[in-house]
Copies of this chain bind each other. A is one copy, B any other.
Amino acid sequence: MDADVFIEPIGRLMNEFSKLPGVGGKTAQRYAYRIIDMSESEAKAFADAILAAKRKVRFCKVCGNFTEEEVCSVCRTRDKSIVCVVKEPKDVIALEKIREFRGVYHVLHGVLDPMNGKSPDDIRVGELLARIKEGGVKEVIMATDTDVTGEATAMYIANLLKPLGITVTRIARGVPIGSELEYADEVTLTRALLERKEM
């Protein structure tokens, strides 16, 4: 990054920006210059937003999603009989955007990944079990990713939940809508064939 060609406050700011995902030296430089171009009050608003996000955002004590309160607005207002289990808060955002699901969520904050030392104790599985045992839940939708760790986690949790007498479902896996069959990968295509539905 040739840090010595930058004066200290700029080099330092570039260093901070390069901590953001996918930001390299050149991008960090462009961002830093944009900050210097800002007015004093704009820069202050930016810095304040960072501090506020860090200070105000916490995890809902029920579902584990981001919230400003103790319990998030989804948990407070929605149908608690259907719980959708996801890996991360950003998955909640993705699902909320489609405005289709009216139940509540459970954010695991990770998936089982023995290769990287992630065991059931490292994700919010215990909290999910406790929630189910409180009663009132009819269905749990496993909406973890469809990759290896996501599938394994869905399977693991499903096996824990089934004995509790609730319905456990998995999001459908198949050929994405609007895509050409020719370009679907083999695993997806195999799955799409095996799980074909009568029309």
Which A residues contact B (CB, under 8 angstroms)? 2, 5-10, 12-13, 15-16, 19-22, 27, 29-36, 38, 40, 42-57, 66-68, 72, 89-90, 93, 96-97
Shortest distance from the beta carbon of A39 to any chain B beta carbon, whole Å: 9
| A9 with B93, Cβ < 8 A, contacts A46-B19, A66-B36 known | no
What 5 additional pairs, Cβ within 8 angstroms, besides A13-B53, A20-B30, A38-B54?
A7-B67, A12-B52, A43-B53, A46-B50, A47-B50
Query: What separation, in Å, do the CA atoms of A66 and B32 have in the docked complex?
Result: 12
Shortest distance from the beta carbon of A122 to any chain B beta carbon, whole Å: 15
Q: Which residues of the partner chain B approach A48 to less than 8 Å between Cβ atoms?
A: 47
Name the residue on B nearest A73 (C-beta): B7
Query: What separation, in Å, do the CA atoms of A115 and B9 have in the docked complex?
Result: 35
Q: Which residues of the partner chain B approach A29 to less than 8 Å between Cβ atoms?
A: 90, 93
Query: What separation, in Å, do the CA atoms of A30 and B57 have in the docked complex?
Result: 15
Name the residue on B nearest A48 (C-beta): B47
Contact B56–A51 (Cβ < 8 Å): no
Q: Which residues of the partner chain B approach A51 to less than 8 Å between Cβ atoms?
A: 43-44, 47
| A21 with B34, Cβ < 8 A, contacts A5-B93, A53-B13 known | yes
Query: What separation, in Å, do the CA atoms of A38 and B53 have in the docked complex?
Result: 11
Shortest distance from the beta carbon of A179 to any chain B beta carbon, whole Å: 20
Sampled A-B contacts (7; CB under 8 Å)? A9-B53, A9-B68, A13-B49, A16-B49, A32-B53, A38-B54, A47-B48
Contact B90–A33 (Cβ < 8 Å): yes
Shortest distance from the beta carbon of A11 to any chain B beta carbon, whole Å: 9
Query: What separation, in Å, do the CA atoms of A75 and B66 have in the docked complex?
Result: 50
Shortest distance from the beta carbon of A102 to any chain B beta carbon, whole Å: 14
Contact B13–A52 (Cβ < 8 Å): yes
